[in-house]
Structure 1
Amino acid sequence: MTFTLKPLLRTLLAQWAFGAALVVRGIELVGKLGLYMLTARILGVFEAGLFFLCNTWVSAAATVARGGFEKAVMRHIAAELAVGRAPQARKVLLEGTLWVFAGGLAASLATLAAAEPLATYVFKEHELTVPLMISAAAILPQTLCIFAAHALTGFHRGVAGQFVQNGLWPILTFGALAVGIHSLHGILYAFAFANLASAVLGFGLLLHERQKLIAQQARPRPGPRRETAPAENMPALWRTAWPLAIVENVQAALNSIPTVVLAAYASAAAVGAFSVASRITVLIWVVIIAISTIAAPSFAAAHRVGDFDQLRALNRRARLAIAACGIPAIAVMLLAPTWLLHLIGPGFEMAAPALIIMAVGQLINCLLPTQDVMLAMTGHGRVLRWLNAGQLASCIVLCFALIPPYGMIGAAIATALFIAQGGVGTTLAVIKLMPRAY
């Protein structure tokens, strides 16, 4: 009975965690879709384009500021707790917090100082200067918010982490629009406040987890103390973070480069329409990231103790759950793109062909998911770094080759190709390096 009960409990717990994560991501989906639709309707195509450019910049700057420490901390906390090293887990949390706070503060100040040249020479929209200066207020809170979410996931509080990172701020920002904040500047201030509230919640939950660890250590254990073999030390936190920082920055660049290059060759209205279509397809990441993030600390823990059977089983369950949830959404994008864009607002229908093209790329991504997280959580960050470097090279070549002559369609083709490249490349790497995990 004991032999069959353990796998059953593991399966039920994993399915519950996946389901709960998807519920939280459903809240995010409603909040973000409502936010994008209402913002587009209120601001119009031109100002919506400015808003999405600011949003893109904040996301990219916060990614650089985190320096890969969020995923490094997630891996280290889960791995240290798997072998009973609570003090090391607490030390890692403190060290990572100090690094990302310094990075977020530096990125905020740099954006504030460089807002005018960025708007004039990079985005070619002088009207973007003040919105970028306001957006600087969101960078540090978003940096801390995302870090706190990953640290919570390392403590196996993935559902709470999902809510902190992706559930709360869209709803708060959407709520600000619903109560009457209808100017571009007002929406950006609301966006910064919503990220700050999410960061405060995240660190409040982390403090609770830290106090639980201290209390567990202080509590005497009944019975004789069992001797265990000493676990091999984890690498220094910065060594884990460095390759993951490159990966995260490349991913941020991949999300930003098509929009930035398109902004240099097309109108703000075209950028706004493309940004809406891109964000609709990126909502497939709602499913992929939700399930991958829940699975990530279990990947790290199973690899730490050498349980490849559990690693493979969890990997397969995650891939199946993502495919089952993501494919129906992609079908809607492929079959009714004009209707979907018309829901956002008038004028956005021009991006229907781009939506179809990017949805095809996301379909491949949906069928080959989670393997980047598998590589990151099992100490193969360097391999992931080279795979992402190849994606970045493809993205740059494709964007500058296709966007100047073909505009929005060129941006969509480039996006679809490098997204598909990422899914195929990481899957082949896992099959080669860890065939027992696939």
Structure 2
Amino acid sequence: MKMLRKLPLGKLKSSRGAILVVGLRILGAIFTYLNVILLARWLDGTDYGIFTLILSTATLAGFVTRFGTEIAIVRFLGMYRAQGKPALAEGVVRTSLKITLVASLIVALVFTLVVSSTSELSDRLWLYSIAAFLLYPAFTQNEVLSAILRSFGVNFAALAPKDILWRGSLLALAISGIWAGLTSPDVLMLVIAGSGIVITLLCFWQFLLQKRVRSQFAMAALKPEYDIPTWRKSALPLWFLLIARNLARTADVLIVGALLSVREAGIYFAVSRTAELLGFFLSSLNLLVGPAVARGHAKNDIQGVQRTLSLAALFLFVSTLGGMIVIAVFGKWILNVMGSEFANAYVPLIIMSVGQCINVFTGSSGVILNMTGNEAANMRILVSTMIFSLVLLAILATSYGLLGAAWASAIGMTTWNLGLWLAAKRLTPYEPSWIGIFKLAAKG
């Protein structure tokens, strides 16, 4: 509790907030990539493949059990605070926390029962059960609590627990296991169980902190008001949207593992996460752009919102071009560091990196749709392109292996983001890409 009292909770200025968020995301990306590289070297191929599959299923379970609340919270907290309706803001927070916790525990129980009845998986029942009951609820609650804290400008406490501390614990636990001379399966158990305990404790700290933040904004003491029909109408499309988006990001690993092998799933995971480094600035800035768009759009400040979008998009365009050059030049060396079995994946890495460039160059298109009441359009585009991408992945991976999977990923990413960009231009008054800087300059 002393830590809570000492933490400064004043809302950050936008520029300082942007620097903090980007800095945290940079550190998070570093830890993420160190985990990808070092665990690929330290665990044997099968155990590393199991590790990637556990993280993929935990991430997917988190999206399923959040029901779109993490985006709905950002949207409605921004809107209700701008409109002076704190009781409704309190209601959306309490509702989101309760339903997501219950849902995540139910999914963890179902997953454990499925594993126990599956002969191919039951020999590691303890590993999968620990992952389910620690990682599933924690991944769910972390994102909901993070959304609440970000809505109030408390960006460090929103992002650091998972991006920095939890990812750092993966490395620390793996190093401890290697130093102690544990076998690869035992190191994997240590990493999953230990990191699950860490992120659960961090979520409890975030929960206490967001209660204090809400009390400072005269929310926690209020009798909450509920507008369930409105929240459901917004959250359900967002829920399907997030599930589809996560399926597009994690189902590919599961499909590669099913069609090819667990080892190749590990290689594909490492390559895709390397390519995704190009998009981390976009995901970082979206954490700030989302609340800014929600507040500005509610106030009809179209020019202010466009200025935010255009400056962010210009920065993303320049930084991503630089990142693509780095991957093109040093990609082979990076893959060799992971191990000899990764060395032949350079061409898939370049293909998937190009897809990530298209993702970044189209800007915060999806965020704009979500924060302006057009989440249904976002969902339709994502679901249609996801189905197309996964079917293409199954066809190309079966015929051409890892190279075919990379092409399917890049084509799907490009189709999806071009669709979002065109929809944002058609349905909103904003230009989400770097082209918007010219629109902004023309208006002075």
Shorter-chain TM band: 0.7 to 0.9
1:160 maps to 157
Query: Does 1:84 find its partner at 2:76?
Result: no
1:347 maps to 341
Displacement of 1:116: 4.7
Displacement of 1:428: 0.6
1:165-204 equivalences in 2 (<5 Å): 165-180=162-177, 183-204=187-208
2:410 maps to 416
Distance in 2 separating the partners of 1:395 and 1:290:
25
Distance in 2 separating the partners of 1:156 and 1:56:
29
1:230 maps to none
Distance in 2 separating the partners of 1:197 and 1:149:
14
CA contact under 8 A between 1:259 and 1:271: conserved in structure 2? yes
Q: Say if 1:129 and 1:350 are closer, same or farther in 2 by CA, change over 3 A.
A: farther
2:37 maps to 37
2:15 maps to 15
Distance in 1 separating the partners of 2:402 and 2:62:
26
Query: Does 1:247 find its partner at 2:247?
Result: no
Out of 326, 348, 351, the position equivalent to 1:332 is 326
1:384 maps to 378
Deviations 1:79-127 (A, max 9, x none): 111122222211111111111111111111111111256784xxxx776
Distance in 1 separating the partners of 2:351 and 2:342:
16
Paired AA for residue 251 in structure 2: I
CA contact under 8 A between 2:424 and 2:430: conserved in structure 1? no
CA contact under 8 A between 1:173 and 1:191: conserved in structure 2? yes
1:212 maps to 216
2:106 maps to 106
Q: Say if 1:437 and 1:329 are closer, same or farther in 2 by CA, change over 3 A.
A: closer
Q: Say if 1:295 and 1:418 are closer, same or farther in 2 by CA, change over 3 A.
A: same
CA contact under 8 A between 1:334 and 1:359: conserved in structure 2? no
CA contact under 8 A between 1:134 and 1:189: conserved in structure 2? yes
Distance in 2 separating the partners of 1:405 and 1:127:
32
Structure 1 stretch displaced more, 191-200 or 396-405: 191-200
Distance in 2 separating the partners of 1:195 and 1:129:
21
Displacement of 1:159: 4.2
1:44-59 equivalences in 2 (<5 Å): 44-59=44-59
2:299 maps to 305
Structure 1 stretch displaced more, 108-117 or 248-257: 108-117
Displacement of 1:139: 0.3
1:360 maps to 354
Distance in 1 separating the partners of 2:360 and 2:263:
30
2:142 maps to 145
Structure 1 stretch displaced more, 97-106 or 83-92: 83-92
CA contact under 8 A between 2:279 and 2:359: conserved in structure 1? no
CA contact under 8 A between 1:119 and 1:128: conserved in structure 2? no
Structure 1 stretch displaced more, 136-145 or 388-397: 388-397
Q: Say if 1:129 and 1:297 are closer, same or farther in 2 by CA, change over 3 A.
A: same
Structure 1 stretch displaced more, 405-414 or 181-190: 181-190
Displacement of 1:194: 2.8
1:402 maps to 396
Displacement of 1:400: 1.9
Query: Does 1:61 find its partner at 2:61?
Result: yes
CA contact under 8 A between 1:37 and 1:344: conserved in structure 2? yes
Secondary structure at 2:340's aligned position in 1? coil
Secondary structure at 1:214's aligned position in 2? coil
Distance in 2 separating the partners of 1:201 and 1:119:
38
Paired AA for residue 59 in structure 2: S
Identity, % of aligned positions:
21
2:128 maps to 132
Secondary structure at 1:379's aligned position in 2? coil
CA contact under 8 A between 1:308 and 1:437: conserved in structure 2? no
Distance in 1 separating the partners of 2:381 and 2:118:
29
Distance in 2 separating the partners of 1:117 and 1:40:
29
Query: Does 1:266 find its partner at 2:260?
Result: yes
CA contact under 8 A between 1:67 and 1:103: conserved in structure 2? no
CA contact under 8 A between 2:131 and 2:196: conserved in structure 1? yes
Unaligned runs of 5+ in 2: 1-11, 433-444
Paired AA for residue 102 in structure 2: A
1:115 maps to 115
Paired AA for residue 366 in structure 1: V
Q: Say if 1:215 and 1:266 are closer, same or farther in 2 by CA, change over 3 A.
A: closer
1:284-299 equivalences in 2 (<5 Å): 284-299=278-293
Distance in 2 separating the partners of 1:216 and 1:437:
38
Paired AA for residue 414 in structure 1: A
Query: Does 1:276 find its partner at 2:270?
Result: yes
TM-score scaled to structure 1, two decimals?
Answer: 0.88
TM-score scaled to structure 2, two decimals?
Answer: 0.86
Displacement of 1:380: 0.7
Displacement of 1:268: 2.0
Distance in 2 separating the partners of 1:234 and 1:17:
32
Deviations 1:248-273 (A, max 9, x none): 00011101222122112212221111
Distance in 2 separating the partners of 1:243 and 1:339:
42
Deviations 1:281-303 (A, max 9, x none): 12333211110111111110111
Unaligned runs of 5+ in 1: 1-11, 219-232
Displacement of 1:150: 1.2
Deviations 1:163-219 (A, max 9, x none): 23423210122222233366111111123123213312321221121110128999x
Question: How many matched pairs?
Answer: 409
